[in-house]
Amino acid sequence: MTAKIEVNKLEAARRQIDKAIRMLFDRDDPVPIHTLASAGFTILKDLSEKSVRNGFHTQFQSCIRPGKEREFWGKFNTFANFLKHAERDPESISDNIEDEVNDSLLFLTSIYYQDLGNQLTLEMLVMVCWYTAIHPDIINLEQASAPLKDLIDSRLKYIRDLSRTEQLNEGQEMFGLARSLYR
């Protein structure tokens, strides 16, 4: 007998996003991370478009530094478009995808989740703090809450100069610390 689960779309998106964030900080395979994050993003985007609270794009656009929009969205869309359009060129190979695209996707998806009126999960909270600390050149901290600004200025500012592996290690440590404090 197989177990049956009942899940609504928001819960499915939350599970996909949280799992993808854990996989990112565990340095798992970036392709399934991207697939999970993209699926969660699509659900939340669709829910946001149907929501009365549909202020996300205005709010989010104000978080990206002026003039950096193309850089942010370009990194964000490249790999997703490659994966979802197999019918166009089924034999193609992508060899210029940076796994950091998952960082932006998971950050954006977390913001979508919050914009729909949900409290960020522990995974999403760590992701937002970690990403914002690493990308002050893209994310406008003037739009961030005072506690987030203080956390980044006092404790997380140093991680932007670390190697990718060290940044992921810091994210994993942040997640472990947050888990021990809040669960």
Q: Does residue 48 fall inside a structural domain?
A: yes
Contact partners, residue 23, CB within 8 Å, separation at least 6: 29, 32, 33, 36
| Average pLDDT rounded to a whole number, residues 124-136 | 87
In a domain, 30, yes or no: yes
pLDDT, greater one: 129 or 49: 129
Radius of gyration of the chain (CA): 17
Most confident range (mean pLDDT) of 52-56, 59-63, 157-161, 179-183 is 157-161
**What are 140-171's pLDDT values in tens digits?**
666 566 666 666 666 677 888 899 999 999 89
Quick check: is 114 in a domain?
yes
Q: Which long-range contacts (CB under 8 A, 24 or more apart) does 133-142 make?
A: 133/157, 133/159, 133/160, 134/103, 134/159, 134/160, 134/167, 135/160, 136/160, 137/65, 137/68, 138/64, 138/65, 138/68, 138/71, 138/72, 139/63, 139/64, 139/65, 140/62, 140/63, 140/64, 140/65
What's the average model confidence in pLDDT over 66-93?
Answer: 73
- Answer whether residue 22 is part of any domain: yes
Residue 17 domain-assigned (yes or no): yes
Q: Up-side HSE of residue 100: CA atoms within 13 Å toward CB?
A: 15
pLDDT band at 20 (very low <50, low <70, confident <90, very high): very high
149 lies in some domain: no
Query: Taking CA 41 as the corner, what is the angle to CA 61 and CA 73, rounded to the nearest 5 degrees?
Result: 40
Quote the domain boundaries for residue 22: 9-56+68-86+93-127+164-178
> Residue 136 falls within a domain, yes or no?
no
> Closest Cα partner for 125 from 173, 159, 162, 174?
174
Domain count, the chain: 1
Least confident among 23-37, 55-69, 83-97: 55-69
Question: pTM above 0.85?
Answer: no
Q: Is residue 14 part of a domain?
A: yes
